[in-house]
Chain A
Amino acid sequence: MTLNLCVLTPNRIVWDSEVKEIILSTNSGQIGVLPNHAPIATAVDIGILRIRLNDQWLTMALMGGFARIGNNEITILVNDAEKGSDIDPQEAQRTLEIAEANLSRAEGKRQTIEANLALRRARTRVEAINVIS
């Protein structure tokens, strides 16, 4: 009756251990997962993953991907994942400012899409830090 979480990126395994509960931002909004969840497959948006270990909440910034839940096993495949505690707040804030500036300067559809994406990534990283404090 334990819930196992596995977060995989192309480079490494970011997380592979037991958790009590997670809150995942999917394309259709946030979902909470407790043990014995119904098996589902979902696309994961660029957003925050919140993990509960006993009474402690941890956050992780996810950069979009896919998740599969079933059999008390959660497998999350993402392009990149960073633990909130590993992100440098100043660096993240700077990146966010640069991304905002880039979006206001973007011309044409392709550039706007790329700038928007960068902005969302940067914002997620900043949010991942601020949840902790």
Chain B
Amino acid sequence: MSCSNLTMWVSSKPSLSDPSSISFRSLLNPFRLPSHSSATSIPSRSSSTNPIQCGLRELRERIDSVKNTQKITEAMKLVAAAKVRRAQEAVVNGRPFSETLVEVLYNINEQLQTEDIDVPLTKVRTVKKVALVVVTGDRGLCGGFNNAIIKKAESRIAELKDLGLDYTVISVGKKGNSYFLRRPYIPVDRFLEGGSLPTAKEAQAIADDVFSLFISEEVDKVELLYTKFVSLVKSDPVIHTLLPLSPKGEICDINGNCVDAAEDELFRLTTKEGKLTVERDVVRTPTPEFSPILQFEQDPVQILDALLPLYLNSQILRALQESLASELAARMSAMSNATDNAVELKRNLSIAYNRERQAKITGEILEIVAGAEALA
């Protein structure tokens, strides 16, 4: 009874949905072994749709492994998203400091303009040697993030070579360290490692190094190469001149375009319609006049000496934070793509698996039916 039911079902199937060759061929060749039939039938069918060709067990294993990979990439994406939030909090927490600093620097500069002072950190010398501070990430799996900044460094080094200038590199971050270690022909002054979240300590370490290089006149210019965070999907590797500091509190890029440091850009991660987006606002810090009768407890030079290292630090810290935010954003989008790919692959593999399983069952039923008919 059950046999006849099955025959009905099998024979009805080709006519209903899928008049494919397998069932037909199996019908013509009823004494084929099931393993044979599946081995020959799968390529003929799958070659047109997708190129997945392997046995049932292998397929199952592949589906499982893709599933695991998808879980990992999904988790990494979420972790990166959470960390972007933390990076952004760090930037927000640092803002009162940098705002006050810029404000004070502005005012003191205005008051000092009339006096002829000589501050070593702002001294412009003829450039013979340039120090490049290259900020990279500590980990991979973040798309082209590390590559982009290293390419930028390479092209800058080539430019300096063409100009006949000497250079040295200060590498920050594990990825940059391993890159420069593999290339011993690039002179590296120091390898530093960035932490999971940049703090004043890391910035201090870089600032100390840069400071002593510049003051001892070993280098005449210090440039900072880092990745500027534009949005979750876009980040630009940029070059900023760190030293000599411009006494007006401006940040200059290599082309001499100066940005007012009082103009502060703030990025904010928000959720819009269930998706993560980034808002970036430019905040113009008002610089209120402070008391004109302000007295200097020490020499103005001493005060600037105390202020400029703070400013240098906050600049470096800012760059580290931007770089970290870009890295996390790059990882987020890379992992998001990887998850999408894994889902797609899993879907294709399950289709192939189900087809093959179906084909095998069909083959087995046909054999049973054929056997029953032969006996009858």
- Residues of A with Cβ closer than 8 Å to B? 8-13, 26-28, 31, 38-44, 64-66, 68, 70-71, 75, 77-80, 110, 114
Contact = CB atoms under 8 A, between A and B. Distances in A.
Could you say which of B97, B108, B290, B309 has the most chain A C-beta atoms within 10 Å of its C-beta? B97
Interface string B338-376: 000000000000000000000000000000000000000
A43 B317 contact: no
B219 interface: no
B291 A43 contact: no
B306 A65 contact: yes
Contact of B306 (A31, A44, A75, A110): A44
Contacts, number: 99
Interface stretch (B54-62, B246-254, B295-303): B295-303
Contacts of B204: 79-80
B108 A9 contact: no
B98 interface: yes
Given A11-B90, A70-B291, A77-B310, A43 B302 contact: yes
Given A44-B306, A66-B306, A110-B216, A10 B295 contact: no
Contact of A79 (B94, B290, B291, B310): B310
A77 B296 contact: no
Contacts of B307: 43, 66, 77
Question: Which 10 residue pairs of A and B lie closest in terms of their CB atoms, listed nearest first?
Answer: A43-B306, A42-B297, A39-B291, A8-B97, A10-B200, A39-B294, A40-B295, A70-B291, A66-B306, A12-B93
Given A43-B303, A66-B307, A110-B216, 12 more contacts: A8-B96, A13-B97, A40-B294, A40-B295, A40-B297, A41-B108, A43-B305, A68-B294, A77-B104, A77-B307, A80-B200, A80-B204
B53 interface: no
A71 B290 CA distance: 9
A25 B136 CA distance: 38
B216 A42 contact: no
Contacts of B100: 8, 75, 77
Given A9-B97, A10-B313, A77-B101, A39 B297 contact: no
A79 B200 contact: yes
25 contacts: A8-B100, A9-B97, A10-B94, A10-B98, A10-B199, A11-B93, A12-B94, A13-B93, A13-B97, A26-B298, A27-B297, A39-B290, A39-B291, A41-B104, A41-B108, A41-B296, A43-B297, A43-B303, A65-B306, A66-B303, A68-B290, A70-B290, A77-B97, A77-B104, A80-B204
B293 interface: yes
A9 B199 CA distance: 10
B271 to A, nearest CB: 25
A27 B295 CA distance: 15
B303 A42 contact: yes
Contact of B317 (A10, A41, A75): A10
